[in-house]
Structure 1
């Protein structure tokens, strides 16, 4: 067994993480003789509840602003309580000897979903699904207990402060948080040292709000664990290079911040799978069978989580031969830069139709502005597919289809994807009382030539910023030499990928 340590940073990342951990919780089996499909110890550690009852806690560090944790508190693990508030007040008094005037805000009420969980011991999964309109925080539909040190609450910022894309501020905030909490020495090391054979770190983070922060975290992590594999899912901002007005200061700042994140991930992580912001997803035939609101973080995070969880499922399957390093090596076999794509289709047709379903395979990593989002129009260098819920005849159909492709993928076929009551009704048109308990889907990690388009757009943006050296770059503290170095490194990453059928004119590469 090789354990995985998970890192989540940012609101969207934690929505994705909530769905991810709810799915892991659904794999637990309680019938005698029923074996789970995954090895739970890979992602969970044993712990105790407040009543000293044994429970399993995720091996995860969760970073977000304090206000975004909602009712989640270290003492309760799942729900907030007055004991937590009293503890925080008492801790604050230890640093002040004078009189204290205490003002308390009204406590945040439990979510309706958690109320149902508390009222019914044997909760009927199909009876009371989460309503999107009732979601206030990502913790509102969490079904697992967390270790107190998993919850890393960062100070809230004033409403008038816009820190999206502030690279240096994020790095400075990590330094403060690390010095105040001894994060790397205590919390992170606690999870690392209790592992028998840690296989690596899986990171999911919002680049706009936690780009500089996670970069500083990873840099510190690498200083101590230079050879430990790291597998990341950076969630890019909604500012796409090539479609940003030069007068849009915040948009330019977020795009430059994304460029810095990608450049540094190439140096620090063994493999990164950038994911485009849900607001930029195209609306076409890939949405067949889906009822999805791109403006709902609860909905979009569930879709992303289903594909992230499925694509990484081979890391947790019982008897698996895969680990983070082997998957990174398989996807980097061509010697290309350390970037791959996540694509998928949900739900699969019933019965599975290879040509129809593969045309619906949507690439969540491709920049959608000005070009297709379907991966089959680019050169695929390596591929790792995981299917969920295919029957034996459908597996044969899939295998025949893959034999006709230019490259043979690594393939894992697994049971259908579970749909706990916390999952939105994305694939259901029936009444909630008859909602499905599982879904059929396909997720794919690919190393593809279309990555060249992504890095070319960022390199072009930085090149233009170098020539202009606008107020935005001054505010970000980026010197002209730093911008030129960033531009050159982005072009180097771009040039390391084959061009596919895009042509140099589609890369906007100029003299580079």
Structure 2
């Protein structure tokens, strides 16, 4: 029986994360393999047929972005119909009556050109395209192909237009309320859901520092009205860098921009608490409210946090891994089960973590690796939230380690046999035992998937093999990885820090919000709700 999920992506940075996520999904397919995939791809994908009777397998996905944000990607895609050549179109008007205006040229980078070349397309996964220098929008590194109904463009606003920025919560609300947008978008949601045999809920990826926060809130309210019994898991994503401000006048504007972001975040978190089943903020910036703050550090990873192409890849790797629990075959665990485990006492906000890559030596085993592990097992990727080791509810997923690497065989066991962990017979048992020793009063749920994370092109080449440059001669194609979702008192600290920042702001000074229908009383109510949510994370409430 199916257990389908519909994914929605709203906003440009969310689509950066989504592009990596769908690339990872595509590269995890195993065609004609003697070792079938552990992952049930039908959860996130749908089968279709083109007009030429060709079978397709595309993401069950709806995404939204602004005008001029798609790069060379056609709005309807090219999977079902070829891109029309305007020069060959027949028109019925007289030639002298026609005025031709050329739009901005959409030049494809080398990666995208090779994808369209029947010969080169078979080689793209093994080539290095130096995408750091050629990626401007998320479609520049998109390997996956979409269904024609996937992409929705907001016609009223242009990407990176400083004169009419799409930057405040009410603007997103207003776009949703336009009849053309809301009817078209909700029709697409309904069409996807009607195709499903056993639809279980939604994954949301959304920008939450700009007007897409308002659009997402309106969409969530619609979903809660129409599909109240379905689970809704929201991943608000925050960039890890904003444009540098040098000029003194621009610095003044930057302070205002920072405040606008905080207001958008407060309003959207309040709505996520009201209309989602659970939300998990994501960023590789350690602070994330007015400014992202210093980037998170990962061993054996040298990434440029100012590049959305890099930072979004880390978030996508985490997302793909932490959602495996309700996407693996031969499991009855659902999205609803995940949410039920982590939202006790109305704790709807959770945190996420990652260890990328999970460091295990080629000639080592998991027991030796964990026995010699120094420091935290994972790094938080939720802003203003440093995860502790006590009183947590957490789901941990480890992927990419085979059972034969569990421990030394009896003929080579040595001193390992003296360790309690040597009695473990599976990776799941051993990791669960390790967590029971290293966390206090914590409920741990462990998932193990043996297939690693594929990091072939177009995934960034930012891995560092213990300081060496081996990857230049031996490209890394897959990695073991650990990721998790956590709920504990530290999430209350995150909410308190956002509440503190938002409380400093006088909403009446920001006309963009008041003219959009958000007055002082609305903002005060929002702050009160955030404070109430924060109180749910007091230790004396639970565990």
| Equivalent position of 2:447 in the other structure | 412
Shift of 1:239: 10
- 1:263 & 1:84 partners in 2: Cα distance? 47
| Equivalent position of 2:360 in the other structure | 350
| Equivalent position of 1:454 in the other structure | 494
Between Structure 1 and Structure 2, how many residues are aligned? 482
- 1:137 & 1:481 partners in 2: Cα distance? 38
- Unaligned stretches of 5+ residues in structure 1: 368-372, 501-512
Shift of 1:112: 0.9
- 1:436 & 1:446 partners in 2: Cα distance? 29
Q: TM-score, normalised by structure 1?
A: 0.85
- 1:122 & 1:108 partners in 2: Cα distance? 24
RMSD across aligned positions (CA) = 3.2
User: Which moves more between the two structures, 253-262 or 348-357?
Assistant: 348-357
- 2:153 & 2:20 partners in 1: Cα distance? 20
SS of the residue 1:420 aligns to: coil
Residue 280 of structure 1 pairs with residue 255 of structure 2: no
| Equivalent position of 2:485 in the other structure | 445
User: Which moves more between the two structures, 15-24 or 179-188?
Assistant: 179-188
Alignment of 1:94-133 (within 5 A): 100-105=98-103, 107-117=105-115, 118=117, 119-120=119-120, 122-123=122-123, 125-129=125-129, 131-133=131-133
SS of the residue 2:392 aligns to: strand
SS of the residue 1:148 aligns to: coil
Distance 1:99 1:180, change over 3 A: farther
Which one of 204, 214, 217 corresponds to residue 216 of structure 2?
A: 214
SS of the residue 2:216 aligns to: helix
Alignment of 1:57-72 (within 5 A): 57-72=58-73
- 2:64 & 2:6 partners in 1: Cα distance? 14
| Equivalent position of 1:508 in the other structure | none
Q: CA contact under 8 A between 2:236 and 2:280: conserved in structure 1?
A: yes
Q: CA contact under 8 A between 1:207 and 1:237: conserved in structure 2?
A: no
SS of the residue 1:208 aligns to: coil
- 1:50 & 1:281 partners in 2: Cα distance? 50
- 2:300 & 2:379 partners in 1: Cα distance? 14
Look at both structures and tell me which one has the larger radius of gyration over its CA atoms. 2
Residue 362 of structure 1 pairs with residue 372 of structure 2: no
Q: TM-score, normalised by structure 2?
A: 0.81
Shift of 1:452: 1.4
- Unaligned stretches of 5+ residues in structure 2: 243-250, 286-290, 408-426
Which one of 388, 398, 401 corresponds to residue 434 of structure 2?
A: 401
Q: CA contact under 8 A between 2:432 and 2:444: conserved in structure 1?
A: no
- 1:325 & 1:386 partners in 2: Cα distance? 17
Shift of 1:139: 1.1
Q: CA contact under 8 A between 1:27 and 1:37: conserved in structure 2?
A: no
Residue 309 of structure 1 pairs with residue 326 of structure 2: no
Alignment of 1:146-295 (within 5 A): 146-155=146-155, 156-157=157-158, 159-161=161-163, 163=165, 165-176=167-178, 178-180=179-181, 182-209=183-210, 210-236=212-238, 248-276=255-283, 278=285, 280=292, 282-283=294-295, 286-295=297-306
- 1:86 & 1:48 partners in 2: Cα distance? 29
Shift of 1:80: 10
